[in-house]
Amino acid sequence: MDMLKTSNLSLLAVPAYYVLSVIPHSYALNIATKGRPEKWDNTCPRSTTLKEKIKSQLSEAEYARYERAEACSANLFENLSLFASAVIVGNMAGLKNLNTFVGAYLGLRIIYAFAYIGISSSSASYIRSGLWVASFSLCFRVFVQASKVLGVKGL
């Protein structure tokens, strides 16, 4: 606990978030290979025919889960720049609550990943969307706080 009070863990959260972003893709590969990742053909992993090949080898439910895991990984990577920017700007401004921010953000994104992959109904998918809004709102909050500290007019 003392480490959290005395250390700025926010910069370490950026590579941790990167690793988090890779995990759903790894899970998708596990689904696509039916638990035998050594069978994955890595020669052209983004070919236009790959998804059709995978789809033909999986049940409809398995393929849907595979697609959600890949989409989850893509979304996590798409949001990496916002998160990393918030961490950098927060550090530039000397914000004191960055450990709390990164803990909350990473926690929300982990829950988001489970929701993204696990939720298969349209109505429940709004839970995932709510988690996404909550997580990016935390980043926006850091930008607003940093702009106040750094003297941006009008905020």
Instruction: Please report, in angstroms and rounded to a whole number, the separation of the first and last CA atoms in the chain.
Output: 34
pLDDT in tens, 105-143: 999 999 999 999 999 999 999 999 999 999 999 999 999
pLDDT, residue 50, reads 83
Other Cβ atoms within 10 Å of 113 Cβ, number: 23
Query: Distance between CA atoms of 128 and 115, rounded to whole angstroms?
Result: 6
Per-residue pLDDT at 45 exceeds 80: no
Range with lowest mean pLDDT among 42-46, 48-52, 57-61, 68-72: 42-46
- Token match 């850091």: residue? 142
Angle between helices 50-57 and 60-78 (to 10 degrees): 140
pLDDT in tens, 1-21: 555 556 788 999 999 999 999
Closest CA to 98 of 1, 3, 13, 2: 13
pLDDT, residue 6, reads 62
* Average per-residue pLDDT for the chain: 91
pLDDT, residue 51, reads 86
- Across the chain, which distance is largest between two alpha carbons, in Å? 58
Query: Distance between CA atoms of 60 and 71, rounded to whole angstroms?
Result: 16
Give, as one character, the DSSP assignment of residue 121: S
Angle between helices 10-32 and 80-93 (to 10 degrees): 170
pTM of the predicted protein model? 0.87
Go through the domains of the chain in sequence order and give each one's CATH number. 11-150 (1.20.120.550)
How far is residue 146 from each of residues 21, 80, 92, 137, measured CA to CA in Å? 26, 19, 8, 14
Q: How confident is the model at residue 39 (pLDDT cuts 50, 70, 90)?
A: confident
Q: What tokens does 92 get?
A: 């530039």
Query: Distance between CA atoms of 78 and 69, rounded to whole angstroms?
Result: 14
pLDDT, residue 3, reads 52
Per-residue pLDDT at 25 exceeds 80: yes
